[in-house]
């Protein structure tokens, strides 16, 4: 099985989502040693911050994009996933390809972009208002960090609870 994860959070200074992406990629690669796990991002962003201690089956890839494939979520990423025969894509920060050539999982960490818009960058809020409902409905599975976020996400986006998985971590 080929699994791909959104590497965009690793092209920026690492925050919570970057740490989540990095640790999730490492855990998947360790749990599935006979599978290939790729962390992918478009080449028009900064290089992915790689970890020297990554398992051999964990690859970090900067995907070359041009004028058309630079439209990452609608053209570049779907084209790459189809070409490489990826079977699963995990959007670690609420984005999945608009055209889905494989199964998709999305993580929604919280809904603060929608519930606390004055505390966020306007551009990010505007994008989230349009895209977050589309992405939540498009993904095969939605991962959230708690039952509270699960309930809020189901209610806001009118999603059936069985499409969401609350992955609470204790301790």
- Determine contact, residues 156/111, Cβ cutoff 8 Å: yes
Mean pLDDT in order along the chain per 10 residues (171 residues): 95 91 94 96 88 86 87 93 97 91 96 91 92 94 95 96 85 49
pTM above 0.95, yes or no: no
Q: What is the pLDDT of residue 50?
A: 75
Q: What is the pLDDT of residue 66?
A: 86
Task: Give the integer Cα–Cα distance in Å for 1 and 9.
Answer: 23
Which helix (H) or strand (E) segment is 139 a member of? Answer: none
Q: What is the pLDDT of residue 169?
A: 66
Which helix (H) or strand (E) segment is 30 a member of? Answer: helix 16-31
The Cβ of residue 33 has, within 10 Å, a number of other Cβ atoms equal to 10
C-alpha to C-alpha distances, 165 to 24, 77, 109, 143, 153, nearest whole angstrom: 15, 25, 12, 5, 11
Q: What is the pLDDT of residue 69?
A: 75
């Amino acid at each position: 099985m080929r699994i791909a994860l959104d590497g965009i959070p690793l092209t920026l200074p690492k925050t919570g989502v970057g740490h989540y992406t990095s640790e999730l990629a490492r855990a998947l690669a360790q749990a599935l040693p006979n599978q290939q796990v790729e962390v992918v991002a478009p080449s028009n962003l900064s290089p992915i911050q790689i970890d020297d201690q990554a398992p051999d089956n964990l690859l970090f890839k900067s995907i070359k994009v041009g004028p058309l494939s630079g439209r990452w979520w609608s053209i570049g990423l779907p084209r790459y996933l189809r070409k490489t025969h990826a079977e699963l894509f995990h959007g670690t920060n609420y984005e999945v390809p608009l055209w889905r050539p494989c199964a998709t999982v999305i993580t929604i960490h919280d809904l603060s972009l929608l519930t606390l818009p004055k505390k966020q960058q306007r551009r990010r809020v505007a994008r989230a208002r349009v895209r977050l409902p589309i992405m939540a409905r498009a993904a095969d599975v939605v991962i959230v960090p708690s039952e509270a976020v699960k309930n809020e996400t189901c209610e806001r986006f009118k999603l059936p609870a069985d499409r969401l998985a609350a992955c609470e971590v204790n301790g």
